[in-house]
Structure 1
């Protein structure tokens, strides 16, 4: 271990510089936090908009800003069922909700509880088991089993403790979802924490007041040392912990990031989770509480790191890591064997005693190499990403995540418009505007990103109705369609062009398409679609640079969302695309993918739809050369654009163009290629039958 004070200070400053360069700096940390909070806000606005009594929270390293590109942190999401209510006192019982009495007795592990089901009409225990997710204990209490979460598992998801894990595609984060039930009051077992005061007077009274007002959650998992693992629920103070982490200074954040890198590189080899990052976070919080705040400065980062490692070593030796807020809850209880304990203790000691070598050998984000350069131990010619490029990469990832979240939420909104009348849809849109008027900055930012898609959809539904009545677009529809034009580069403009095409106003439609095509190629545009779980993106250096220079509002200028038409918009859809609304046979519905809620919509990628509309409009205008150019662009896009998410739809509309070109064999090839893309829920089957039937009839 380094002994010279000057050397320790120099090493601390060098470590701080390295971490600054890889994105652990105030600017990047704040951008990460804002992006996750914005995504959380958008999700919850959509839930409120569609009258779903559910709230999602973004937790973990990404929402805290305590990560790097190389750490590849998961996206941690906690979902709370607002129809459920946990009470610690009978006065907290709420009529009409599913109430549970929180029970902590001699049978529950510290930090865990049982949930006793109560009646919904009066504050009394329920006496009849309602379903297989409940059980009666020896005292006659009806308790909720934590295994009920298993019925929430969807395709590709696996349960790990309280969370449901979904592995991300290459280049994208894995996701951990935790379903929870909230209690509005502070846990009685943690009441002492609200009055506890550390050496550094941290956490502050303001943080403690916030904690007391947020309550807590229970999540579906039992202790590893419990006698009743299926009945216990873990008490989670996630929102308080998020508050604490977002109030750390940059040195404390860097210390935590280093702890996670050490954990991943040396203490948890081959993805074995013997010590969790949450344990490291807990150790850090205890260390901050028990030291003067002046210690946590950049020139003391190395000493703070070693202090945390010594505390972690003590926890392993004693097999006890006390939860920061509920100290009776030992996070290491039953966590590892005696052999594992010995190995972990040895590895931590080895790191502390050989810190020079170990720090220089951290491969994550090239930390070791970068530190060697700072210490003048190797030449500066080592090839690694400069800090500006790392910042641009981080911002690009954040903006792509925000954009895909917008796409998901728009799809979620469209699902709820099914079979709704105009009045209800107008109420949805009107409710959305209230989030822009409540003075909340995040709500305002979320509104600016979400509202144009909803405005366009509402305008298109109104237009479809008026077209069906008199083949004209009502002024009210045009107002809403115009209000949504800046949703992104193309999707809303293409809808407006499709509306004009459907009424025969080819000149206006052509003008919009020409402008949209110019916009598409004015910036490095990224196609966005969340209709499938798999997401393929192809970004350019110019796209990444723009992300690093601008705010999240640039999403509107550098993304092209897929174009979605629901049944209520059918009169605004070219008849070639209307077929897509009827793609599913009875057999398809039985075997269909339940996640693909757009099966009875017409959905197409922006660029193929743009060229298809150009082809149709130039055909009507008898501009044959332009028509053939548009057809050629449609063909090239399908052949070369690897980002297309609805390639089968693009092939289907191309096949119909080929039929109109009197090239039936080429059309048949398009439909067959479409079926290779998607064997089920594909209207290509109908197109093939129609084509062959027509050929037979002509003979």
Structure 2
């Protein structure tokens, strides 16, 4: 099987080079993995700060590094609800928790279970049906339906066990899977621990680490189940991720090729026939059943062919065993006879074409790149992205995604702090200081802490300004500690504090410095208050990400400035109106879990910078600078397509126009603001006030 002719070795080497060039190499794989680990760690810290007892895990292609730009893989997020205790032995029952017994018997499909509700006060079954989420079976057991979790994420589409949030143009779709944690490693997976393949892979160390990870159940039944609404699939996704993280680069490239073949040849119309998870499972079985020496660059095409032969056998036999829970047949009930025949034909044709199918694949220009490498076409006819360009795109995407995630975490922390008193806020900050157990927590701390420090200092400053119009030294220390959150937002908060205490010289100095910094770098704005389209990054930003390295988020991003109501005395009165944007009717049109920021004053950094300059220069009677700042505010609103809160920028511009005694322009600003956001917009109040003043003046 593995005694290849020269052309196969040459094809393998050329194919490996192409995959390296399009980003399937050690450096970019590591970038992808770091991103997901950081996101997990930031979510963990955020949940602990907010007293949430959940854990989010990012799984699938992006966490493993088994994707490319062209494949545009979804983000898979598993949300574990830690309040539940799923047991397989009565000794695992816990007092006060919502306990369920995992039932695996002749009525459940292998790899699935029923969840029997137990009492919270003693280790006994519940004997009555508490609500419509439960059902009593013929044995009197009270079982939880898996439909309890369907549609729980607002704006999501049910898709098997997951809720898919469809990304806007330029963004990735995200599959959110809600899960309950198992107390111990599933009994149905215990056979994997003693299984030994030809190459002694996975190693004992890998198995030991894998079994130290958590297992879950997710809300979906088998397609061949007699009780599809009662079954819960047992998930060993963290153990599988552990195995995938130990693949070598040839094995990763083989996985990527299988996914490309799947999307291009086997599921061309995005029909759900063979899943990428099945392809990954076939790959793992092949690795387990071959010698490790086979998986090297000059043997890539033969390894791919071996995997396709194994996949063909699985389709023919309607059997693909889960890698860890072997009794779970991933293909059970998946295919009609017609579909099976079609898939078998496509796989057979691809294998018999001996590599020619690869020349047709358009993901990341793989086919054309391979033709050039094999000297089948002249190189000059194509303008491919270089490997350096692809590295820049991946690295800039890493920084943008991490920055966006930081913004999302900050919004959630602000929501929590919005409802806390100052003492509890200080406790949250103290809790934050404890997260430095490892390098990942330390990195996540560096990203999240400055925003929390700034908010803590601003809340304290607001309190002291309200009492004696002074800023306490302690609040200034916290504000100073948070200055490097990004290029602008924390500095603008500090400038706003000084403006609120009429210390215009200090405010002007900070604003001038912030403006200089902003235009010294190719900065991108970040806003996570609502699902706005992502900022389109520039070539300058990509290059700067490499040059700035670890400081990219601090120097190259500009977050919107968010003031919770406890900071109101640090907010210019023109912006304070935003905290009261919603009428009783407007509240009906707010989304409970997404629109809490509407009770704050939130504004994009650049418009706020020019607005503050306009106000400060007015107090300093520097009229020429004041008009320049006003003109910059106008042009920013007109030109900048990346503003997340354009309606707010128009509202503060309208108030500037009123102060300039230009009521018609002010009215135009407010009407444009309402075009941006018709509901939950304080522009309605500004219009009423403006009309009242105009009529009174007459």
TM-score interval (norm. to shorter): over 0.9
* Cα 1:235/1:2, change in 2 over 3 Å: closer
| Secondary structure, aligned partner of 1:152 | coil
190-199 or 210-219, which moves further after superposition?
A: 210-219
| Secondary structure, aligned partner of 2:269 | helix
**1:31-430 alignment runs, 5 A limit:** 31-155=31-155, 157-381=156-380, 382-430=382-430
Residues 1:537 and 2:529 aligned together: no
CA contact (8 A) 1:185 1:213 kept: no
How much has 1:698 moved relative to structure 2? 1.1
* Cα 1:13/1:549, change in 2 over 3 Å: farther
1:551-606, Cα deviation, whole Å (9 max, x unpaired): 34311100000000000000000000000000000011122233211111000000
Tell me the residue number matched to 1:632: 631
CA contact (8 A) 2:150 2:161 kept: no
Tell me the residue number matched to 1:665: 664
**For 2:97 and 2:551, how far apart are their aligned partners in 1?**
40
How much has 1:237 moved relative to structure 2? 0.3
Tell me the residue number matched to 1:451: 449
| Secondary structure, aligned partner of 1:214 | coil
CA contact (8 A) 2:170 2:534 kept: no
**For 1:145 and 1:551, how far apart are their aligned partners in 2?**
49
Extract unaligned runs of 5+ from structure 1. none
179-188 or 453-462, which moves further after superposition?
A: 179-188
Residues 1:621 and 2:620 aligned together: yes
Q: 2:481 aligns with which of 471, 480, 483?
A: 483
Tell me the residue number matched to 1:11: 11
Residues 1:587 and 2:607 aligned together: no
CA contact (8 A) 2:151 2:157 kept: no
**For 2:495 and 2:214, how far apart are their aligned partners in 1?**
50
Tell me the residue number matched to 1:574: 572
**For 1:651 and 1:671, how far apart are their aligned partners in 2?**
6
CA contact (8 A) 2:169 2:533 kept: no
* Cα 1:388/1:350, change in 2 over 3 Å: same
**For 1:247 and 1:150, how far apart are their aligned partners in 2?**
34
Tell me the residue number matched to 1:462: 460
CA contact (8 A) 1:399 1:552 kept: no
How much has 1:150 moved relative to structure 2? 2.1
**Runs of 4+ with >4 A deviation:** 1-4
**For 1:673 and 1:396, how far apart are their aligned partners in 2?**
34
CA contact (8 A) 2:525 2:557 kept: yes
1:50-85, Cα deviation, whole Å (9 max, x unpaired): 110000001000000000000010000001000001
Count of matched residue positions in the alignment of Structure 1 and Structure 2: 696
**For 1:308 and 1:469, how far apart are their aligned partners in 2?**
72
**For 1:138 and 1:557, how far apart are their aligned partners in 2?**
64
CA contact (8 A) 1:529 1:535 kept: no
CA contact (8 A) 2:119 2:126 kept: yes
| Secondary structure, aligned partner of 1:269 | coil
**For 2:549 and 2:227, how far apart are their aligned partners in 1?**
50
**For 1:184 and 1:420, how far apart are their aligned partners in 2?**
33
How much has 1:151 moved relative to structure 2? 4.7
How much has 1:536 moved relative to structure 2? 3.6
CA contact (8 A) 2:526 2:559 kept: yes
How much has 1:3 moved relative to structure 2? 9.2
Tell me the residue number matched to 1:496: 494
Residues 1:433 and 2:437 aligned together: no
| Secondary structure, aligned partner of 1:416 | helix
**For 2:74 and 2:264, how far apart are their aligned partners in 1?**
17
CA contact (8 A) 1:185 1:214 kept: no
**For 2:57 and 2:481, how far apart are their aligned partners in 1?**
30
Q: CA RMSD in A?
A: 1.2
**For 1:216 and 1:264, how far apart are their aligned partners in 2?**
29
CA contact (8 A) 1:459 1:479 kept: yes
CA contact (8 A) 2:180 2:218 kept: yes
| Secondary structure, aligned partner of 1:527 | strand
| Secondary structure, aligned partner of 1:329 | coil
1:86-111, Cα deviation, whole Å (9 max, x unpaired): 00001111111111100011110011
Tell me the residue number matched to 1:692: 691
How much has 1:549 moved relative to structure 2? 4.2
CA contact (8 A) 1:2 1:356 kept: no
CA contact (8 A) 2:95 2:121 kept: yes
**For 1:397 and 1:204, how far apart are their aligned partners in 2?**
34
Tell me the residue number matched to 1:597: 596
| Secondary structure, aligned partner of 2:114 | strand
How much has 1:6 moved relative to structure 2? 1.2
| Secondary structure, aligned partner of 1:317 | helix
CA contact (8 A) 2:151 2:163 kept: no
* Cα 1:212/1:3, change in 2 over 3 Å: closer
**For 2:2 and 2:338, how far apart are their aligned partners in 1?**
29
CA contact (8 A) 1:184 1:213 kept: no
**For 1:587 and 1:204, how far apart are their aligned partners in 2?**
62
Alignment TM-score, normalising by the size of structure 1: 0.98
| Secondary structure, aligned partner of 1:335 | coil
**For 1:274 and 1:565, how far apart are their aligned partners in 2?**
49
**For 1:8 and 1:648, how far apart are their aligned partners in 2?**
60
206-215 or 557-566, which moves further after superposition?
A: 206-215
How much has 1:153 moved relative to structure 2? 3.0
Tell me the residue number matched to 1:606: 605
How much has 1:208 moved relative to structure 2? 1.1
How much has 1:211 moved relative to structure 2? 2.2
